[in-house]
Structure 1
Amino acid sequence: MKVTVIRFTPADNDPPDWRIRLEASRISAEQKIKSFEHLGSQADHVVLPPGVGRGDFRRVLESCNADAATRAVIVQFPPPSHLAPLVDHMDPAKDIDALLKDRSPYRACATAEGIYRVAEPYVQDAPAIAVVGSRGFVGQGVVGLLRENGHDPITLDAGDDLRHVRDADIVISVTGNPGILGPDHLRPHHRLVIDSGFVPQQDGTVQGDVRREMYDVPQHLTPVPGGIGPVEMATLMERVIRQEVDPKVVPWKVDPGLYLTREQLASSTHAAPSLAEAARMRAPQITGPAAGFPAAQQPSAAGPHLPAQRPQSPRPDGLGR
C-alpha cells in the first residue's frame, strides 16, 4: 500500500510565526514518512512550493483519490488559508487522520486519540480533567473522546483564566503556545500533565506548552520533545495495520506509573513523600505496536515522564491547533 503525506512550504518573506508553524509541519511530516516506511509501506512525501495555487493543490488531491494504490492521505496542517477548504475534496475513505471530521472513518485525529489513550489509565476513578486549547482541532477531538467515555472535562481556551487547571487532577494542553503553563497553573496533585505543544525555536530547540522549570512538579508529564509524537505515530500505524492487514490487531496501551490522589497527598505529611517518590520511580510504559518502532521514534519513559511528541501549531480560532 501507499501513503501520501502532503505539506506546504513558506516563502522567504512570510511572517516568522507562519514559518515556525510550517517548520513544525515539516518535522511532523518527516516523522510520518519514516514511520510508514518502517512499517513497510510506500510513503510519498509531497512538498508543495510557496504560493501553490488552488488548482495545483486540488489536482494533487484528485490524483491521490484516483490512485487505487494510495490507501491513505494526510494533509499536514496548517495549509494556507486559501487552500484549507479544498481539503474537503479528499476521499473520506483515505482520510486516516480525521481531517474531514464527521465524514472521516475515525472519531478524532491520531494525536487526539493518542492523548486520550495515554490519559485513559489515569481516569478510572473519574478525576477532574482540564483540556487547554479545547476549541482547536486536536482539542476538540480530545474533548469529544473524553465525553464519549463518560467524562465532563473542564474546557479552557483563549480568554479563559487558565488558573482553573489547578482544579483538575489531569491537565491536557494542546495549544502550541510556548510556556503557557507555569507556576500559576501546575501543582503536585496533578497526577498527569499531557503537553502536546511543539514549537521549533531559532536555536534548533523546541518548546512545549509547559515551562521547563515545571517538569518536576506534576507526578507524571509528557515532555517536549519526547512525549506525544511517537504516540501519534503508533496510532497512525495501528490504523493502517487494522485497515490493510489485520482488523483485530492488538491495540497499543499505556501501563500507568504510580500516582497519588489528592487525598493520599494530604493524608499524612510522613507517608506522602515516600509515596510520591515511589510514583516518580515507576514510569509509565507503552506496550503494543509502538514497541517495534526505531529507537528514535519510540516513546520515552524515563524518570517521571511519559511517551513522545508531535509538532503542532496554534489555530486562529482558539489556543489549540
Structure 2
Amino acid sequence: MSIQAENHISGRQILRAVHDLYTDYRGPMAALGKTVTIIRVEAAAEDPVDWQARANASRISAEQKVANFSRIGLKVDHRVLPARVTPAKFAATLERANVDPSVTAIIVQQPVPARLRQFVQDIAPHKDIDALTEGSHRQVCATAEGIWRVVQPFTGDAPDIAVVGARGFVGRGVVSRLVEHGHEPLQLDLGDDLAAVRDVDIVISVTGSPGLLGPEHLRPEHRLVVDSGFVPLPNGGVAGDVSPHASGIPQNITPVPGGIGPVEMAVLVERAVRNELAPDLQPWQYPGRPYQTRTSGSAAAAQTAALAFPSPTRVPRQAGQLASDQPPPPRGRSERGSDRGHHR
C-alpha cells in the first residue's frame, strides 16, 4: 500500500466521505429500481495512439462510474459500442435511454468520434447529469464542478488563479465557475507561454497533456495545484499534466491518479441523489487544507489552519460538509519541493 505524500489532496478520501454522507439514501434509491445508462464507444486498433489513450481513460472512468452509481443503489446499463458504430445505431441507443422512464441519467463517455458528436446534444436535459448538452439543467460538467469544490476553500482572499486548458470543455466549465464567484482567472492553453503560472497562487491544469507543467513552472508559494490530467500509459501507469519531478513543489496538489477523478464521481453521486430523491440537497463541501499566503509567516498559517480545519471527522449531514483530511502542518517557505524532477 502506497503512502500518500504530505501535500496530496486525496480525492479518494473525499469520495469515501461523500458516500458516507449519503449512506441513508442507498436503500430508498435501490427501492426505486432506477438505472443510469453509460454509453461508451471503443477505439479501433488502427486509431491514432493519442485517441486510443483517451479511449482507455474513458473506459477507466466508465468503470468507476459503474462502481459508484451501484454503491448508491442505482442500476447501471454500461453500453459499449464498437469503434465503427453507425450514427443511426448510436442515435437509437441514446433515444431508447431517453424514452425509458426507468433511466434516471444518461452519460456519454468522451471522446466520441466526430461523426457522432451531434447526437450527444439529444440527451434529455433532465437526464444529462454530466452537463454534456447545451440544454442541461446543470451549469458545468461534473469534473469542472469537482475542481471548483476543491479550489473554493483556498480562495477566501481573492488569490490569483491560472487555468491551463481554459478553452477546452472542462476548462470552460472551470472558468465559468470561477467567474461566477467573482474571480478573474488567467486563461491559458496549449501553445501559450506557461511561464505566467509561476506568478499566481493557484494553478488549475485540465489539458490532458502528460508532464506539461514541470519544475520550471511550479513554486513552493503555490498554495494549490489542481492536476486534472489522466492519461493511461503503456506500462500500466497513469500520467497527469504535472511532471512527477514537480509534484512535490507546491503546498497542496491533487495527485494523478486518486485526485480529481474520484472528486468527479462524488459530484455525480450527489447529482444522482438530487435527481431522484432530494432535489433540495445541499452540495457537499470540501473544507480544504492549511496553506501559507505569499506574505504570511508559519505562525499565521498555523492559526488559520486551526480555525478552518476542525478536528471532528464528520459534521451533521444537513450541513453537507465533509471532514477535513487533517494534513500535517504546512511547510515553511524555505522548504522547497524536490527538483527531481484527457482529464480526471
The TM-score bracket by the shorter chain reads 0.7 to 0.9
| Aligned-pair CA distance for 1:249 | 2.6
Determine which of 128, 135, 146 is the counterpart of 1:114: 146
Determine which of 63, 68, 81 is the counterpart of 1:30: 63
Change (3 A) 1:303 1:205: farther
Q: Distance in 1 between matches of 2:162 and 2:269?
A: 28
Give the equivalent residue in structure 2 for 1:87. Answer: 120
Please give the secondary structure, in 2, of the residue aligned with 1:222: coil
Q: Distance in 2 between matches of 1:30 and 1:73?
A: 15
Please give the secondary structure, in 1, of the residue aligned with 2:191: coil
Please say if residues 256 and 284 of structure 1, whose CA atoms lie closer than 8 Å, have aligned partners that are also in contact: no
| Equivalent residue letter for 1:192 | L
2:82 counterpart of 1:49? yes
Change (3 A) 1:226 1:283: farther
Change (3 A) 1:285 1:234: farther
Please say if residues 258 and 283 of structure 1, whose CA atoms lie closer than 8 Å, have aligned partners that are also in contact: no
Give the equivalent residue in structure 2 for 1:146. Answer: 178
Q: Distance in 1 between matches of 2:59 and 2:164?
A: 24
1:127-166: per-residue Cα shift (whole Å, max 9, x none)?
0000000000000000001001100000000221011111
Please say if residues 113 and 142 of structure 1, whose CA atoms lie closer than 8 Å, have aligned partners that are also in contact: yes
Please say if residues 215 and 249 of structure 2, whose CA atoms lie closer than 8 Å, have aligned partners that are also in contact: no
Map 1:179-194 → 2, pairs under 5 A: 179-194=211-226
Determine which of 130, 134, 155 is the counterpart of 1:123: 155
Give the equivalent residue in structure 1 for 2:337. Answer: none
1:207-244: per-residue Cα shift (whole Å, max 9, x none)?
00011121221000000001011111110010111111
Change (3 A) 1:301 1:190: same
Please give the secondary structure, in 1, of the residue aligned with 2:106: strand
Please give the secondary structure, in 1, of the residue aligned with 2:173: helix
Give the equivalent residue in structure 2 for 1:62. Answer: 95
Name structure 2 gaps, 5 residues minimum: 1-33, 318-323, 331-341
| Equivalent residue letter for 1:82 | R
| Aligned-pair CA distance for 1:304 | 9.1
Give the equivalent residue in structure 2 for 1:317. Answer: none
2:55 counterpart of 1:17? no
Change (3 A) 1:129 1:287: farther
Q: Distance in 2 between matches of 1:285 and 1:70?
A: 38
Change (3 A) 1:287 1:12: farther
Q: Distance in 1 between matches of 2:161 and 2:313?
A: 21
Give the equivalent residue in structure 2 for 1:294. Answer: none
Please give the secondary structure, in 1, of the residue aligned with 2:77: strand
Q: Distance in 2 between matches of 1:284 and 1:216?
A: 26
Please say if residues 205 and 226 of structure 2, whose CA atoms lie closer than 8 Å, have aligned partners that are also in contact: yes
| Aligned-pair CA distance for 1:247 | 2.1
| Equivalent residue letter for 1:113 | E
Please say if residues 252 and 286 of structure 1, whose CA atoms lie closer than 8 Å, have aligned partners that are also in contact: no
Among all aligned residue pairs of Structure 1 and Structure 2, give the percentage whose two residues are the same amino acid.
52
Give the equivalent residue in structure 2 for 1:71. Answer: 104
Q: Distance in 1 between matches of 2:310 and 2:211?
A: 24
Which stretch shows the higher mean deviation, 117-126 or 250-259? 250-259
After the TM superposition, list the runs of 4 or more consecutive aligned residues in structure 1 that deviate by more than 6 angstroms: 282-289, 299-305
2:240 counterpart of 1:208? yes
Aligned residues: 290
Q: Distance in 2 between matches of 1:31 and 1:176?
A: 18
Q: Distance in 2 between matches of 1:23 and 1:284?
A: 40
Q: Distance in 2 between matches of 1:17 and 1:185?
A: 25
Give the equivalent residue in structure 2 for 1:309. Answer: none
Please give the secondary structure, in 2, of the residue aligned with 1:214: coil
Change (3 A) 1:286 1:149: farther
Name structure 1 gaps, 5 residues minimum: 266-270, 290-298, 306-311, 314-320
Q: Distance in 2 between matches of 1:208 and 1:25?
A: 15
Please say if residues 130 and 268 of structure 2, whose CA atoms lie closer than 8 Å, have aligned partners that are also in contact: yes
Q: Distance in 2 between matches of 1:62 and 1:284?
A: 49
Per the normalisation by structure 2, the TM-score is 0.79
Q: Distance in 2 between matches of 1:180 and 1:285?
A: 38
2:191 counterpart of 1:159? yes
